[in-house]
Homo-oligomer: A and B are copies of this chain.
């Protein structure tokens, strides 16, 4: 029923080959015939069948994004960044998000096989190396926030460690000595790196020995719970560094509820710089991660890989973070 290349060929009085050539901008077609063909094609509202085209070219003009169960702003920034970049290249974007664990992500990748020309994978799971192994050999892929242990794929990571070090140093610089951390979920790479950075910076100041680490899972609730625990502590920390902003916000609410003043009694810092960080009172000191940049960089890397496969070494790139000092760490 739909109009095919044959219909166009017939109507234009040429062969299908010529139509194909004209439409794909090959140079071995007379300008005159090309024009005639193009005219007919638009007149007939011809649209090439993508499936047929993919079948023979083995290209889908689509890239896939496999993402973990990210929340809110992070997620939208990332997807939007990738989407815009993809559209600029005339590529489509197939997404599969909210994968809680490596198994789900692996399944998603498997399902995308054959539907995409390349893959953008974010899997902040420490056991993600297994996932990398299960990525098909032939499919170009770029990893984000992935463990960089001998992966055969280009990888882009945030400088979680560096950011955490910088923030901890900032708090030390403000004169704080007992700097507690609310950690992220177990098995999460970002959380691990941030914790490590905090510890390292404390170590520099010879304060690592009695460092206080509270459990958290990146949720606001877990931050709130941690805040309540802090309030109940015999000896309160001077400062609390939450492994992400939402936990910092939860903690802030808990502290305020209990009459603990921020930053006067306890300084507070987060990580991510989500929009909310600027709207809480006091505004939250945090580490800014340029998530849109991450998405864009990963996409560009993938494009490079698509255009000349194997040309780039599969090295790991680290995107810097910067600390953003606001009132919650005693800005004034």
Q: A55-B49, A79-B79, A114-B49 are in contact. Are A93 and B94 (CB under 8 A)?
A: yes
Least distance between A313 CB and chain B CB atoms (Å):
25
A75 within 8 A of B: yes
Checking B54, B79, B108, B279 against A249 with a beta-carbon cut-off of 8 angstroms, the contacting residue is B279
Least distance between A57 CB and chain B CB atoms (Å):
9
Q: CB-CB < 8 A to A112: which residues of B?
A: 92
Least distance between A184 CB and chain B CB atoms (Å):
19
A173 within 8 A of B: no
Assembly of this chain: how many copies? 2
Q: 1/0 contact trace for A28-44 toward B, CB 8 Å? A: 00000000000000000
With A and B bound together, what is the CA distance between A281 and B55 in angstroms? 57
**13 additional contacts, CB 8 Å, given A47-B114, A48-B114, A83-B98?**
A51-B54, A52-B55, A54-B54, A71-B76, A75-B76, A80-B97, A80-B98, A83-B97, A92-B96, A93-B96, A276-B279, A279-B280, A280-B281
Give the B-binding residues of A (Cβ under 8 A): 47-52, 54-55, 60, 62, 70-73, 75-76, 79-80, 83-84, 87, 92-98, 108, 111-115, 249, 275-276, 279-281
